Amino acid sequence: MSHEGLELSLDNRTLTVHGVTRNDTGPYECETRNPVSADCSDPFTLNVLSELHKPSITSNNSSPVENADSVVLMCEAQTQSTSCLWSVNSKSLPDSPRLELSLDNRTLTVHGVTRNDTGPYECETRNPVSADHSDPFTLNVLYSSYHQGANLSLSCRTASNPPAQYSWLINGRPQPSTQELFIPNITTTVKAITWVSSWEVIILPWFSES
């Protein structure tokens, strides 16, 4: 006999499940009986595995600041009962105290991001049936040649007759009209420093006043 994908042998000792799906997990029990007694087996549950879909990587901060931010990368998979492996630059993760994996390997934390941590990163999910890779994920690490707390001196020079007049703007705010600008104790906040002469305009990113 058969019913909705279930087929019993003639002696009822064998049950075949055709085209197994996740709805066929069970539990299953069989009962034996004779004119004297009857007894049931323990429940039996199928662990139905399905083919995996491509995972994806998400981040709490895709544009971190060097030496100021930590980044959490998450491997998003539709199925939870999978193992997860990470790679960076097409290689296994290096042994580094700045790289921290969660217990289930689904979350990778990069502590104290540097410009060498851009990636690309990939995660792979797998089960006994299949495996699949995420698309590469690259961090846009923001950095500058100056370190937080340093002093910054900028000089604007141009050859002109009559002599040029100089104006400086920091994040849109006017500064003293001098040829040189000194900023003590800079921070790594992304701002714009602009100098204006009678001839040209230049924008230098990555600095702001403390």
Domain boundaries, the chain: 2-40, 56-133, 152-205
Q: What is the mean pLDDT of residues 148-163?
A: 75
Q: Is 11 left (phi over 0), alpha (psi -120 to 50) or beta?
A: alpha
Q: What is the pLDDT of residue 147?
A: 63
Alpha-carbon distance of 157 to 181, in angstroms, equals 12
Q: Report yes or no: 53 and 80 within 8 Å, Cβ to Cβ.
A: no
Alpha-carbon distance of 61 to 189, in angstroms, equals 15
Question: 63-110 pLDDT, tens per residue?
Answer: 888 888 899 999 988 766 678 899 999 999 999 999 999 998 999 999
Q: What is the pLDDT of residue 209?
A: 40
Q: Scan for tokens 């007759």, then name that residue.
A: 161
Q: What is the pTM of this model?
A: 0.53
Q: How confident is the model at residue 146 (pLDDT cuts 50, 70, 90)?
A: low
Above 80 in pLDDT, residue 190?
A: no
Alpha-carbon distance of 6 to 2, in angstroms, equals 5
Q: How confident is the model at residue 1 (pLDDT cuts 50, 70, 90)?
A: very low
Alpha-carbon distance of 63 to 75, in angstroms, equals 18
CATH T-level fold of 56-133: Immunoglobulin-like (2.60.40)
Alpha-carbon distance of 23 to 74, in angstroms, equals 29
